[in-house]
Amino acid sequence: MEVPKARAVLPQLRFVESVDSTNLSLQRDYAHLPDFSALAAAQQTAGQGRAGRSWVSEPGTSLSLSVLLRPNRLEISSLITLLMASTAQQALTELYPSLAVKIKWPNDLLVDERKLAGILAAVNPDQSVVVGIGINLSKQAAFESAASLSEFVTADFDSVLAAVLTRLQENWQRLQSDLSTEWLIQHLRDNCSTLGSEVRADLVTGESIVGRAKDITSDGRLIVEADQEHVLSAADVWHIRR
Ligand code: BTN
């Protein structure tokens, strides 16, 4: 496969047909890589998901993209997952205006409450961050319930990759140069289906809470009103259908 549109956006993009994991590949090489080194693949043989889960990307069915970012200040590291979620939501909506893509805080994109994309970030020993996104382009046999772009639009790998890279370059520059994160948080608030929903969250402590998601703080944490107010920085969150 060729990716001319994506290369026009980012000439230094590395594209491979198959790799174990785009995230793992950049995590192995991080020490030698400059800011915004990007690797995209049409297939992963050992894709990584959250909480030690695997992420399946069979050939031709999904887009896997990872980018190594070197934050110019520490505070923005924790916003990188949300930056990718917001960016991909924006890019897909601009490319396919009929598609109702929503963000599930903090790391999924949903269509009709079904998962279209997942995001995973890892911090390297030198504080650089590898953030990866997997977007379902078409149905994978193993994941009947997941959403894919081909159910709704005629999507091609190169156009989606180019759109995400274009917006990510702009938004990454803005996150580094603007001292206020309000533009990012407001975009998340406007496009996040978690807000207003009844959610169950598994906290890192092992405790589970149920409550209504109220807001996102300026540093990207989720406020959930349960027996008391919880401010979540990392948790597995489930939307509860009513
Ligand atoms: C999740 O929903 O659990 C997160 C999935 C993240 C998958 C992407 S695909 C590109 C990058 N490389 C990986 O191995 N994982 C991420």
High-pLDDT (> 70) share of the chain, %: 98
User: Which atom of ligand 1 approaches the CA of 49 most closely?
Assistant: 3
Residue 188: pLDDT over 80 = yes
137 lines ligand 1 (CB under 6 A): no
50 lines ligand 1 (CB under 6 A): yes
Mean pLDDT across 108-135:
96
User: Which atom of ligand 1 approaches the CA of 107 most closely?
Assistant: 2
Confidence of residue 240 (pLDDT cuts 50, 70, 90): confident
Contact 149, 160 (CB under 8 A): yes
Q: Kindly report the protein residue whose alpha carbon is nearest to atom 15 of ligand 1.
A: 48
Residue 164: pLDDT over 60 = yes
Query: How far is it between the farthest Cα atoms of the chain?
Result: 53
User: Which atom of ligand 1 approaches the CA of 48 most closely?
Assistant: 14
Nearest CA-CA partner of 109 in 129, 130, 84, 131: 84
pLDDT at 141: 67
The string of DSSP letters for 178-189 reads: -S--HHHHHHHH
Cβ burial 10-21 (10 Å sphere, 16+ → b, else e): beebebeeebeb
Mean pLDDT across 216-227:
95
78 lines ligand 1 (CB under 6 A): no
Confidence of residue 123 (pLDDT cuts 50, 70, 90): very high
pTM for this entry = 0.95
Contact 216, 206 (CB under 8 A): no
46 lines ligand 1 (CB under 6 A): no
Q: Which residues pair with 224 in a beta bridge?
A: 213, 230
Mean pLDDT across 101-121:
96
Mutation test of ligand 1: which of 15, 120, 160 has the most ligand atoms closer than 8 Å to its C-beta? 120
Residue 203: pLDDT over 90 = no
pLDDT tens digits for 18-44? Answer: 999 999 999 999 999 999 999 999 999
Peptide bond into 106 cis (omega under 30): yes
Contact 136, 64 (CB under 8 A): no
* Position with higher pLDDT, 126 vs 143: 126
High-pLDDT (> 90) share of the chain, %: 87
Tell me the CA–centroid distance for residue 10 and ligand 1, in Å.
21
Q: Which residues contact 240 (CB under 8 A, 6 or more apart)?
A: 197, 198, 199, 200, 210
DSSP letter (8 states) at residue 32: G
* Position with higher pLDDT, 236 vs 43: 43
Mean pLDDT across 107-116:
95
